[in-house]
């Protein structure tokens, strides 16, 4: 990958994509005590930077190649970029999506691509979906459009960095880049390492899908045995060989964010900054609290996508509250006698501690009845007092750990 390839992609894309703003963020600047800017790719065409790579790739095909049609696999954002390019270039495309792709993204793909696009749901994570799409390409003779594992895709994604350095002419200390398959990272790192070598690059992954960290540790892309699909836009079990070849020798810092912290940041972006970010889109800003160094100057966070289904916010709030230590679950065994519940309400709970879930099942026992109880606390420090009152209570109470298999039934 070269800066010349990225410059060529920038010329192709300039009349096609939006030059997204680089906006200061007062909340995060105060947190970091350094100027923090957000590169708003969440308001790009298709609400993601992915259109840059997709259009650059498909526009580079010959007429004969486009006449055979294109096929791709995507968690949703790349699919929207492909859909846009197919409609603009009048090319038929088939898009394979994992079952975890939110309904909102599926609807957007249909709206953007119109009659030029067919959707196929296959597999639960990106890697399974990609296998199905590659098989389609072999059988039908279609051109496969990689989500990240191709030089033309990487060059298109790298135009994000071209805009950042044009928009912020003063030196930038750090650029934080969300990572799934590492196409965006490879493009940004290529441009920045040559055009602004003093700028540090931080690659941030979901805690449950650290495929880049695994690849760097092994010296080559490796397949993760388990991937958490919650951050659907970055839930990739193996980084691409092409982007890995670009970034492996560059001075890139790694960071990761647990899903609960990511959910907290999504809520902050929405409630404080007025930004609707999908989970992958909040990775960069969520990583500010987990940087491996202290920035000494301006920081740019790439908000990579804004395709978040509003129906997911109840789950996002739940995960955030659990991560912040504000929501806890307990198994409480009540004796089958008058006043047992009243004792729990009056003597175990304190002011401001609210029951948000109570599921009581008497079953067949005449002596006791178990209940699943969820409690919200006004602050994390209140847990100590609650546990002390529970220990002093005659009730049998067991706290459910977020690591417990039982906890998965609460979501």
pLDDT in tens, 146-193: 999 999 999 999 999 999 999 999 999 999 999 999 999 999 999 999
**Token duo for residue 36:** 């923090």
What are the pLDDT digits (tens) for 191-205?
A: 999 999 999 999 999
For domain 325-410, say whether CATH 3.30.70.260 is its number. yes
The CATH 3.40.50.1100 domain(s) of the chain lie at: 3-48+151-319, 50-144
The correct CATH number of 3-48+151-319 out of 3.30.56.10, 3.40.50.1100, 3.30.565.10, 3.40.50.720 is: 3.40.50.1100
Angle between helices 151-167 and 50-59 (to 10 degrees): 130
Confidence of residue 404 (pLDDT cuts 50, 70, 90): confident
Task: Give per-residue burial for 85-119: e unless 16+ CB within 10 Å, then b.
Answer: bbbbeebbbbbbbbebbbebbbebbeebbeebbeb
**Phi and psi angles of residue 316, each rounded to the nearest 5 degrees, phi first:** -65, -45
Q: Which residue, 239, 236, 241, 283, is CA-closest to 259?
A: 283
pTM for the model stands at 0.90
> Which position among 39, 48, 50, 105 bears the catalytic label?
50
Mean pLDDT in residue range 19-25: 98
Q: Do the beta carbons of residue 1 and residue 158 sit within 8 Å?
A: yes
| Helical (H) or strand (E) element with 266 | helix 259-271
What are the pLDDT digits (tens) for 219-255?
A: 999 999 998 888 988 988 899 999 999 999 999 999 9
Q: Is 50 a catalytic residue?
A: yes
The per-residue pLDDT of the chain, averaged, comes to 93
Q: Which residue, 70, 212, 43, 214, is CA-closest to 147?
A: 70
> Which position among 59, 142, 211, 304 bears the catalytic label?
304
Q: Is 362 a catalytic residue?
A: no
CA atoms within 13 A on the CB side of 376: 11
Helix locations, 14-62, DSSP H: 26-32, 50-59
Task: Give the pLDDT score at 312.
Answer: 85
The CATH 3.30.70.260 domain(s) of the chain lie at: 325-410
More confidently predicted of 100 and 393: 393
**Token duo for residue 285:** 């800003």
- The separation between CA 211 and the C-alpha centre of its own chain, rounded to angstroms, equals 14
| Fold for the domain defined by 50-144 | Rossmann fold (3.40.50)
């Amino acid at each position: 990958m070269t800066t010349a390839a990225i410059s060529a992609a920038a010329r192709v894309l300039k009349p096609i994509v939006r030059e997204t703003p680089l906006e200061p963020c007062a909340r995060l600047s105060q947190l970091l005590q350094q100027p923090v800017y957000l590169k708003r790719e969440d308001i790009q065409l298709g609400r993601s930077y992915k259109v840059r790579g997709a259009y650059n790739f498909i526009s580079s095909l010959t007429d004969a190649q486009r006449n055979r049609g294109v096929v791709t696999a995507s968690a949703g954002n790349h699919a929207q970029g492909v859909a846009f390019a197919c409609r603009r270039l009048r090319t038929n495309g088939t898009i394979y999506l994992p079952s975890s792709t939110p309904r909102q993204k599926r609807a957007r793909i249909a709206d953007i691509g119109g009659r030029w696009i067919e959707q196929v749901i296959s597999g639960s994570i990106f890697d399974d979906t990609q296998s199905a799409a590659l098989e389609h390409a072999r059988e039908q003779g279609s051109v496969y459009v990689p989500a990240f594992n191709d030089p033309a895709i990487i060059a298109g994604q790298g135009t994000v960095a071209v805009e950042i350095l044009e928009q912020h002419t003063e030196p930038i200390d750090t650029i934080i880049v969300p990572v799934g398959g590492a196409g965006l990272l490879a493009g940004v790192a290529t441009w920045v390492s040559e055009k602004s070598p003093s700028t540090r690059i931080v690659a941030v992954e979901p805690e449950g899908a650290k495929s880049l960290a695994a690849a760097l540790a092994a010296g080559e892309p490796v397949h993760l045995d388990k991937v958490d699909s919650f951050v659907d836009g970055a839930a990739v079990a193996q980084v691409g060989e092409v982007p890995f070849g670009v970034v492996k020798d560059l001075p890139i810092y790694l960071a990761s964010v647990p899903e609960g912290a990511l959910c907290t940041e999504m809520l902050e972006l929405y409630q404080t900054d007025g930004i609707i970010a999908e989970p992958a889109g909040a990775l960069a800003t969520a990583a500010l609290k987990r940087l491996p160094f202290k920035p000494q100057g301006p920081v740019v966070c790439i908000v990579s996508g804004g395709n978040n289904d509003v129906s997911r916010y109840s789950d996002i709030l739940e995960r955030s509250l659990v991560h912040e230590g504000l929501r806890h679950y307990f198994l409480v065994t009540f004796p089958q006698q008058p006043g047992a519940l009243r004792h729990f309400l009056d003597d175990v709970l304190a002011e401001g501690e609210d029951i948000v879930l109570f599921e009581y099942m008497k079953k067949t026992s005449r002596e006791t009845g178990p209940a699943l109880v969820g409690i919200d606390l006004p602050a994390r420090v209140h847990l100590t007092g609650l546990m002390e009152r529970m220990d002093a209570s005659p009730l049998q109470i067991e706290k459910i750990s977020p690591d417990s298999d039982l906890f998965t039934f609460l979501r």
